[in-house]
Amino acid sequence: MQIHHEHNHQDDHTHHHDDGIIQKVKSLFHFHSHDRRHVAADAAFSNNQEGIRTIWIALTILLITSILQIVIVYFSKSVSLLADTTHNIGDGLNSIPLLIAFYLARRLPTRRYNYGFGRAEDIAGIFIVLSIAVSAGIVFWESFQRLIDPQPILNLGWVAAASVIGFFGNEWVAIIQIRVGRRIGSAAMVADGLHARTDGLTSLAVLIAAGGAWLGFPIVDPIIGFLIGITILFITWDSMKAVWYRLMDAIEPEILTRAEHVIGHHAEIKELKRLRMRWVGHQLHAEVCIAVDANVSTMEGHAIAEEIRHDLFHEVVELTEIVVHVDPWFEDDDPAHVLTRQHEPVPQLLTT
């Protein structure tokens, strides 16, 4: 018996498709308006809408911040400020694949993509990691060039102002993305927000370079550039691990523990045979296999499964889809799986 959570959208409209490459590109991001009332009530759809809106706001803030800093870089010739500005621009570029992924996630499942397009958010993480690594390389190169050929920093007051601008711009983005990311369950957006917060702190580091130049030590400028580059490398490593976890269907152990705790409170369950969870973008899926008394009716088994699903949805709020399989329980030998027993993997304890 399998009980699962899904949303069905009936197609009541006739679509007229034009031929050509333009139509194909448009269809990539086209969200079918089969039944707007049902779609508007879909939590996943609402989360995607909020995610898209948040990314556009973040892009706008970072764009304004970067433009202001570029103008000051042109007049000041500060490599540490250039390093910080380059990283800010890279952050803006990081948000573009994430934005595309949120647009793709709005599409309904197809016969080829049965599970929908939520995984695009995880794939976007690869591009984010690559862009962060590239920005680190640029920062190190520019800092090395300035180290062997030091240049004076002009307009120290403007450089200091630019660092403050960079801090407030990135911190604004961080607050928005972390708040929304936690609300909709998007680890990628939370990570991007924490990344922006780190960028804000590195922007303040430019003040040290300006202070060094003011005291007559221009070498402080490329040194701060190298330090910012090293900071970006640490961010790259953390981002790479996060993307690896998602692509490998890793799950936070504490979430698994919460789900086991919820299921364990149901006295009707004789055995929890299997519990698997994985993230698909910012949506969490779960597969549960339980064993109940072999004498319960189909209706009773269905009711038990529904109670489990209900409690999991309330207690593990990250979950968006749950599949519950109900097996009959036997104290000794299991005659219910004679045909498929040899195809089942050997049960193993889950370890961290």
What is the value of pTM for the model shown?
A: 0.71
pLDDT at 42: 53
Inter-residue contact 219 to 111 (CB < 8 Å): no
What pLDDT shows up at residue 24? 47
Looking at residue 291, its pLDDT comes to: 92
Considering the domain architecture, whether residues 325 and 278 belong to the same structural domain is answered as yes
Tell me the residue type at 212. Answer: G
> Does residue 38 sit in helix, strand or coil?
helix
For residue 4, give the amino acid letter: H
Domains: count for the chain: 2
Q: Quote the domain boundaries for residue 198.
A: 42-247
Same domain, 268 and 174: no
Calpha distance 170→188 (Å, rounded): 17
Reading the chain (352 residues) residue by residue, the pLDDT tens digits are: 554 444 444 444 444 444 455 554 445 444 444 443 343 335 556 677 888 889 899 888 888 888 888 887 777 666 666 766 776 776 677 788 888 888 888 888 899 998 888 888 888 888 878 877 877 787 788 778 778 876 666 666 777 787 888 888 888 998 998 888 878 877 778 777 777 777 777 777 677 777 777 777 777 777 877 888 888 788 888 888 888 888 899 988 999 999 999 999 998 999 898 999 999 888 889 999 999 998 889 899 999 999 999 999 988 888 889 999 999 988 777 777 767 767 766 555 565 5
| 339/285 same-domain check | yes
If asked whether residues 256 and 149 sit together in one domain, one would say no
Regarding whether 329 and 315 lie in a shared domain, the answer is: yes
Contact 139, 232 (CB under 8 A): yes
**Which of 247, 274, 291 represents a domain boundary (last residue)?**
247
pLDDT of residue 143: 79
pLDDT for the residue numbered 300:
92
**What confidence score (pLDDT) does residue 43 get?**
57
What is the reported pLDDT for 323? 94
> Which 3 state secondary structure label does DSSP give 348?
coil
The pLDDT value given to residue 68: 85
Residues 215 and 324 in one domain: no
CA pseudo-torsion sign 201, 242, 129, 148: positive
Q: Are 185 and 197 in contact (CB under 8 A)?
A: no
Which amino acid, 183? R
- Report pLDDT for 350: 60
Buried b (16+ CB within 10 A) or exposed e, 80-94: bbbbbbbbbbbbbbb
CATH of the domain at 340: 3.30.70.1350
Which of 183, 212, 247 is at the close of a domain?
247
| 116 belongs to a structural domain | yes
Element housing 312 (H / E): helix 298-315
Bridge partners of 290? 272, 326
Both tokens of residue 193? 């927000």
Please tell me whether residues 271 and 186 are part of one structural domain.
no
**Is residue 36 in some structural domain?**
no
Same domain, yes or no, for 220 and 285? no
- The domain that contains 101 carries what CATH number? 1.20.1510
On whether residue 32 sits in a domain, the answer given is no
